[in-house]
Structure formats: structure tokens, C-alpha cells
Amino acid sequence: MSVKRLLLGTRGSPLALWQARAVEARLGAVGVLVETIVLRPSGDEDVSRPISELPSPAPFADEIEAALRTGTIDIAVHSLKDLDPQGSPGLVVAAVPERGVSTESLVSRSGCRIRDLPPNARVGTSCARRAAQIRMLRGDLVPVPIRGAVDQRVRQVRAGRFDAAVLATVGLARLGLEREIAQTFSIEDLTPAAGQGALAVQTRADDSEVRERVARLDDPRLRSATSAELQLQATFEPGTPFEVAAVAEWNAEELVLFAKLVRADGAEAFSARVAGKTASEASFTAALRLRHLAAERAA
């Protein structure tokens, strides 16, 4: 029997709901009706600890993926960077339909750029990758854990709990908060997470009917770009002393991947820009280049 209406699972944050509505509209345009269900993954339940200290490898996706496996929902919409780069048993990303800008931005209490923050300023960030790069940009800055939805983090800065915070540009833009941006970083200065800005629509691997419906939204070139980033991340994590950051985009018929490894204390970093015809070629070449640079430094 043909599926008439799909149940779509998502987090309940304003940004997650924006993303779910975007996918719902795209599915509606190809004749697929959707009903959205809000779920609460462990990362939203436990806001007392930094994300890096949470036990789940995908704390903003785990409960949603569990609901998908049991059939409570038919599809799930995530920020692609929130998924476990090692994959999720029984599930597939059936479509990568959209990506906003992948850069990082600074929101500051006084509206100043990072170079003008006061000495030893407290900069809110939810991940080790950003913290390491903040330390590289200015060694005196103090990265401090910040939790909550994008709009809540902005309010925490405005309330004086932090001097500034680093957030994904795309989240601010999708919520109409561009006016809060004091500075947008180049990808060389503050390299984003693999998959940042992209959406992922997940289905059960064995649900061929739903998978085929959702696959109509897939952007093959975008999928290959984000695949290069995620493959590079999976190559180095877990077990590396470095934080991994990467962003790829197509330039004519070449996939250009910019990748960075940076130590958690910000004392050392290696970066490489490579080109390839496929995601696997670009990620493999970048990994070789980064390992070579790290070996040269260690010698």
C-alpha cells in the first residue's frame, strides 16, 4: 500500500523547526504529504554539560534516530553535522537537499570584532573544534561552554554572561538574526565542522518506498561535497589529538576541499587545500597531505 502521509521527526528548537519546515515544503512540492512530530534528543535534555562530555556520539540525533528505527516516525530531518560520521545502523541519509553558508560568525556583547574584544574575554562555544581555533586566533581568549538554542545563546551574550560567542552563520541567518553578527570568519581563520550548514533527511535503510520518495530531494553535487568532508572527519576521529574541520565545494568539475587539524590547546594546526574529481579522491588526498604535514612537524 502506498504511503500517503509521512511522519517527520525533528528537534523542537527554532532552527530545527525551520529546517523541518523547509524539508516539508520541498516534499510537498513533489506531492509528498508530511506531518511533523517534535522529539527531544539527549543533547536537548542534558544542557548542564559541554557537548563533548555527553555520552552519545550524536546527542542531537539519538532519540530521533531511535524513533525512526522503531517506526514511530518515517523520516527524520537533522543538521548533517549532528549525525555520527561513522553512520547509524539500519538508517541512511536518503537526501542532502540544501546547504546554507558554512562559515562561522562572532556575536559580541559590544558589537566588536574578535581582535577588539577585551583581554581574557570569555567566548562562548559549544564544541572543542571552535574552542581550539579561537585559541589560535587569540591566545588570551577564554573559551567557555555555552548551551541552548541559537537564539538563547545570542540572548546569553546580550545579557552579559559572555563577552562573545561563536555560532554557525547559517543558523543566525535562518532565524533572521544576521543583525547580531559582529564578524564572519574566513574558512581559513575559523574552519567549520564537516557538513555544517547542510540538511540531512534520514530514513530506514529497508524502507524502499519512503527512501525513494525522499531521494527526489537529493542534490548529488552537494552530497558529494559533504561526503568529502565527512570522510575526512571519519579518517581522523576518534583517537586523534587534533580537532578536525573541513569544507568542500565544487569549482567547475573539481571538488575543492579545505581541511584543517588543530590541537585542542590551539598551539598547533595543519591545513591543506586539495582538489579531486570525487569525494573519496579529495578526502584521501587531504588526509595524506595533513598526515605528511604533521609528520614533518614532529620530525
Ranges 16-20, 46-50, 140-144, 220-224: which has the least confidence: 46-50
Q: For the domain that residue 173 is a member of, what is the CATH number?
A: 3.40.190.10
Query: Is 189 inside any structural domain?
Result: no
pLDDT of residue 4: 67
**For residue 280, is it within any domain?**
yes
Least confident of 45-54, 86-95, 218-227, 260-269: 45-54
Angle between helices 150-158 and 14-29 (to 10 degrees): 150
Q: What is the pLDDT of residue 194?
A: 96
Q: Are residues 93 and 109 in the same domain?
A: no
Q: What is the mean pLDDT of residues 196-213?
A: 96
Question: The domain that contains 261 carries what CATH number?
Answer: 3.30.160.40
Q: Is residue 63 part of a domain?
A: yes
Residue 271 pLDDT exceeds 90 = yes
Percent of the chain clearing pLDDT 90 (strictly above): 84
Residue 21 lies in a domain: yes
Does position 140 have pLDDT exceeding 80, yes or no?
A: yes
Which triple of cell numbers denotes residue 26? 520541498
- Give the pLDDT score at 28: 94
My answer on whether 62 and 134 are in the same domain is no
Same domain, 91 and 203: yes
* 83 inside domain: yes
Listing DSSP states for the chain in one string gives: ----EEEEEE--SHHHHHHHHHHHHHHHHTT-EEEEEE---HHHH--SS-GGGSSSSSTTTHHHHHHHHHTS-SEEEEEGGGS-TT--TTEEEEE---B----EEEEETTS--GGGSPTT-EEEESSHHHHHHHHHH-TT-EEEE--S-HHHHHHHHHTTS-SEEEEEHHHHHHTT-GGG-SEE--TTTSPPPTTTTBEEEEEETT-HHHHHHHHTT--HHHHHHHHHHHHHHHHHTTT-SEEEEEEEEEETTEEEEEEEEEETTSS-EEEEEEEESSHHHHHHHHHHHHHHHHHHHH-
Instruction: Tell me: do 61 and 140 sit in the same domain.
Output: no
- 67 in Cβ contact with 127 (< 8 Å): no
How far apart (Å, rounded) are the C-alpha atoms in residues 134 and 125?
Answer: 9
> What pLDDT score does 106 carry?
98
Q: What is the domain count for the chain?
A: 3
- In this structure, the answer to whether residues 241 and 157 fall within a common structural domain is no
In a domain, 190, yes or no: no
**Residue 94 sits in the same domain as residue 112:** no
Grid cell of 4 as nine digits:
500517503
Whether 108 and 178 map to the same domain: the answer is: yes
Q: In this predicted structure, what is the pLDDT of residue 144?
A: 96
Q: Are residues 115 and 36 in the same domain?
A: no
Residues 68 and 212 grouped into a single domain: yes
Residue 90 belongs to some domain of the structure: yes
User: Is position 234 within any domain?
Assistant: yes
Q: Give residue 136's domain range.
A: 104-184
Query: Residue 3 above 70 pLDDT?
Result: no
Tens digits of residue pLDDT in 19-41: 999 999 999 999 999 999 999 98
Task: Grade residue 286 by pLDDT with cuts at 50, 70 and 90.
Answer: very high
Nearby residues of 152 by Cβ (< 8 Å), 6 or more positions away: none
Q: Please state the rounded mean pLDDT for residues 176-198.
A: 97
Do 153 and 290 lie in one domain? The reply is no
Cβ 165 vs Cβ 157: under 8 Å: yes
164 & 214 share domain: no
86 and 212 fall within a common domain: yes
Q: Where residue 1 falls among pLDDT bands split at 50, 70, 90?
A: very low
